[in-house]
Structure 1
Amino acid sequence: MSDSPELYDEVAYAYDGTLEGLLTAIFSSYANHEEPTDVEPARRLQPRLGQRVATIETNPDFALRVLRGVRNRCGWQAVLALKRAAVSDEPDAGTAAYRFVRYAIDEQKRRDCDHCRKRANCQGRGGMGPCPKQRGRAFSDITHPAVERLFQISRSISQECEHMRQFIRFEHLGGEGANLWFARCNPKAAVIPLIMDHFVERLSDMPFVIYDEVHEMAGVYDGGDWYLVNTAGQGDLARALPSTTADEALYAEAWRTFYRSVSIDARVNPELRRRFMPKRFWKNLTEMKEDPKALARR
């Protein structure tokens, strides 16, 4: 049977799972004059009955054009929301990003500038849009169906990034002239690209690796620049790294001693601690490695 478009009522766009791929898919929807019902990474896409799947090849130039358009019309908060959606594990994150961009750009096109008092001095191409007064307003309209879902995803990813900044613990690795700091993490979204700048700024003179066990990805900083490494199919990354230094056990015990010393037994609230320090992070926390069960009862 032929896969001609006439046989299908809907189309789904499959991209490679990157931010560039997502933005290229959004660009392609305009270029192809199509409105896909789903925009998802190819590895997660489950086509619906009667749905045609179009595989979108990533094009950095197209992606940059979309990014600039969103920035000019909606501001940096909307751009940041798109970046967060690109790393989310939510199955509808790509679709939410696409629907928001469609809504935001179409709203700008429909804006009538004829009766605007500032049209004569408008910076938006002589009163032809996009309207500078409207920048950022599209993403702030969180009650609109095209904005609400992207806002929820963005807020969730922001919280996960904050968890990573709080709960990542580094170990000092050495041996054979090596000098490296290594940390494991298990986030519920592939947020390593969003948090690397934070740690580079704080550890600018210390080469380090942050290893995401869930998404099999590592952020590597060599002292000058940082880059991402895909570790899928390579086993545990830690096995290929040097062993811990002789002083690491001493430092770890000192940190655990400090953690216990600042605890006030009369004010321990296990439920509150689990809310602010989710248990999924405990296995990689230095202060919890001694005896998590015993510490949880305190």
Structure 2
Amino acid sequence: MIILLYDHTWPGMLSAIFEAFDRKLTNCMIRRARAHMPSAFDQDIEVTTNTMKAARVITGLKKKLSADGFHQFYACFLSELHGIEDTLFAYTRLIFSSKDRVEQAFANAAVLRVSQVAKSVHREKHRMEAFVRFRLASDSLFFAEVEPDFNVLPLILNHFEKRYADQRWLIYDMKRNYGIYYDLEKVTEVTLQRTVGVKETAGIFHEEEPLYESLWNDYFKHVNIRERKNTKLHLQHVPRRYWKHLTEKNKL
């Protein structure tokens, strides 16, 4: 089996797909280099990321897919699920071998998988847009920690750039150790040399931040109606895995 290894990036994965087509490979797998375990029975090929080759794949996909279909393709890549690259490669082969659009051909395993994974990623995207809680730092930067199941920061940056256009903010993915920073002009990707948890940040946040958090907690406490409490329904909308970064779920 031929294994195409790429650098974990979107252009890198597209470069691997280009390489597979260029070499006319049909029986191959695409894997992230960092997570790959070599095997004596496989032939590993390291793919160099090439933005021009990646752009050619994107151009081809956009010609054969609707805007929503291409967005689903990208969302699947951001899922980071094991083997999702093979699904996307199989999907790409189907796309380029068919005269008609195939994104609704759910009888095909790759098409169905792309649709299902994209829905899960977009569900996580909407949850992050709702569950991000900013804290005011001492330098007037609004900072938020998140740990989404999927790599959805690239999907939520437009939402926050438009909604908080007059504020400097940083949303940091603690699981993947990178964040998106808005400086009042543009959004850029950043990486912190050392990440710290909320409980270890004394002196970093603005002196009035505890007051705002207290007011926020009091608000949720008073709007809650005990007689209408439905824990099962609440957990469906706000799963426990998000609670550690929700101000209203943490007592000061």
The answer, yes or no, to whether TM exceeds 0.5 is yes
Partner of 1:288: 249
Q: How does 1:267-282 map to 2 (within 5 A)?
A: 267-282=228-243
Match of 1:149 among 83, 91, 113: 113
Where in structure 1 do 4 or more consecutive aligned residues deviate above 6 Å? Answer: 237-242
In the alignment, what sits opposite 1:31? 22
Written as runs of structure 1 = structure 2, the 5 A alignment for 1:1-298 is: 10-47=1-38, 50-108=41-99, 134=100, 137-174=101-138, 178-231=139-192, 234-236=194-196, 243-290=204-251
TM-score by length of 2: 0.92
Quote the offset at 1:75 in angstroms. 1.7
Aligned length: 251
Structure 2 CA distance, aligned partners of 1:183 and 1:84? 22
Q: d(CA) in 2 for partners of 1:227 and 1:71?
A: 25
**Preserved CA contact (<8 Å) 1:23 1:63:** yes
CA drift at 1:242 = 6.6
2:171 aligned counterpart, secondary structure: strand
Contact 2:91 2:111 in 1 (8 A): yes
Map Cα deviations across residues 40-83 of structure 1 (whole Å, 9 max, x no partner): 21122345662211111111111111111101111222221222
Percent identity of paired positions between Structure 1 and Structure 2: 25
Gaps of at least 5 residues in structure 2 are none
Cα contact 1:13–1:38 (8 A) shared by 2 = yes
TM-score, length of structure 1 as denominator length: 0.79
Q: Deviations over 1:222-262 (max 9, x none)?
A: 1111111234x634387799722232222211211121222
1:207 corresponds to which letter in structure 2?
R
In structure 2, relative to structure 1, the CA distance for the partners of 1:210 and 1:20 (3 Å cut) is: same
* Unaligned stretches of 5+ residues in structure 1: 1-9, 109-133, 292-298
RMSD between aligned residues = 2.0
Closer, same or farther: CA 255–55 of 1 in aligned 2, 3 Å: same
SS of the equivalent of 1:271 reads: helix
